[in-house]
Structure 1
Amino acid sequence: MASANVLVTGASSGIGRATALLFAERGARVFGTSRRERPDEGGVRMLRLDVRSDESVRECVDEVLAQADGIDILINNAGVMLEGFAEETAPDEARAVFETNFFGAVRLVDAVLPGMRERRRGRIVNVGSLAAWIGEPGEGFYAASKAALARYTESLRHEVWHLGIKVCLVEPGVFATEVLDAATAAGAAIADYDGPRESARATLRAPCAKARIRARRPRSSGRPRPPARRADATAPAGRASWCPGSGRWRRSGSSTSRSAAPTACRGGSRPSAWLCGSCPRGSAGPRR
């Protein structure tokens, strides 16, 4: 880790910023990117990058290579959210989502792969979303772009593994980041969708609002809490959820679990917690 050169896109806030800072804390040489000029922070060298532009991607990667002897880890985190029902969303608006969330990642991968192939090593991490699995009303094109990224990542992994290059996909759930605050809305509004659109918007934003309230609320109990401000290196690879009862990460589908579906954990307090087999209070079964 200490000798790794890491490039993190979308590192000005949220998951990207937390990831970049953690890598820097662990001794890696980290380059973060943002669409706007940003000062360096916590050992992260910030660069300007628009993932929608081939030229901008080339310039950014060239600048990294001019300062480092290669890119060992690429984390494609840059993304945008578009709110709007499918019929209300113009094709150009939908394409703009794909240009960032899907083709932006493709551009970065194409830019770093030649160097990784030459060295016969490297790691590419694409940040997707659980929205790729369920298309909810009002975020159809966002979900579609993340689904496309997921299938692309799976194919890419098979294509480059024999070259010593590892590719993986991270699909977070709901986090209190700035992605919703920066979301754009579809330009058209059809009256027939007014009620369902507002209901869908409120449903989408409610978990983030609750997460922000919990983050500000003093915690009186000694129950361990998952890391909220930075990525946690103790989380196992693949899909995992935090069990607040045991203070441990639980890998989806592992033999330690007592349930194959997200339910409430007796040791925890959140309906989204997984029932963790190692939780000392989990033996009583899920709370409905």
Structure 2
Amino acid sequence: MSFGLKIALGLVASIAAICFPLLVPAEIQAYFIALAGIWILFALGFDFAFGVAGLLSFGHAAFFGVGGYVVGILTLNYGVGFFPALGLAMIAGAILALAFVAVSLRASGIFFAIFTLILAQLILILFSVKLRSWTGGIDGLAGVLRPEFFGIDMWNNWNYAALVMGFVVVIVWLSLLVRSSPLGQVLHAIRQEPVRSRQIGYNNHLYSSVAFMISGAISAIAGGLNAGLISFIGPEALHATVSLDVMIATLIGGAGTTFGPIIGAVLIQGMYSILSKDSVVAQLLFGLVLILVAIYLPKGLWGTLKARFMDRNGGGK
């Protein structure tokens, strides 16, 4: 990283760190940090499918929402502890992702994305109508419990935010590890040259399925943590707009990079915290930002910075 880039990033981070606690009440700060951390996890999960494996999905809300429902149902109706429920939510996310792949992966590109959207809408109908005796239907499940963790009060938002950020650190570390592993290299090859990778003996379907399952598992963890944060899970978590939000966050930050989705998720949640998500101003602003990023920063914020500064200094390596 160049010295100029370090200075610029340092100044931006310093200004944000100074202004944030001065302008925002402490309890809201903690809630925002926890929410931003959850969406960082969700964006990292989405990017593992899209940015790493090249699988564009319009239905990732299904994994996020199902993760929340598994945690809510198990903790409220069956007395299961939060962490075991979160582990089962992760497994449920991976299994659901495998089911999506089994139906959709025969298609490719935009057709795969459309299939995921259709399946996600079926999951929304299933949880809001067909399984309403378990899920509470359109009313959802209120009072989702937070974890008990060595006597620490997790109803304190600062403590819960620390827990969420602990998950973020672990997932970021694992993401960096997997991306640089042989699995990550194979997925990169499949994304760049699917025909050639198949010719040299790689099972593209198998590797893509594994990547999508990892993506679904991470997204379900984010959904489970979100249910604990807001103490509620409802069909809103399964809506297509949730899939759109995480896709926009990843594209703004920079798909295919570990830190791009992190930046995008924080920016999106910061804008939502300032502006009402459903307001006309918010929708216009998001549309404008997305257009500007697509035109001037096609690799996203982090991807463009990396291309212009890091790769230049490293001779393109």
Please say whether Structure 1 and Structure 2 have the same fold, judged by a TM-score greater than 0.5.
no
- With the shorter chain as reference, the TM-score category is under 0.3
More helix by share: 2
TM-score, normalised via structure 1 length: 0.27
More strand by share: 1
TM-score, normalised via structure 2 length: 0.25
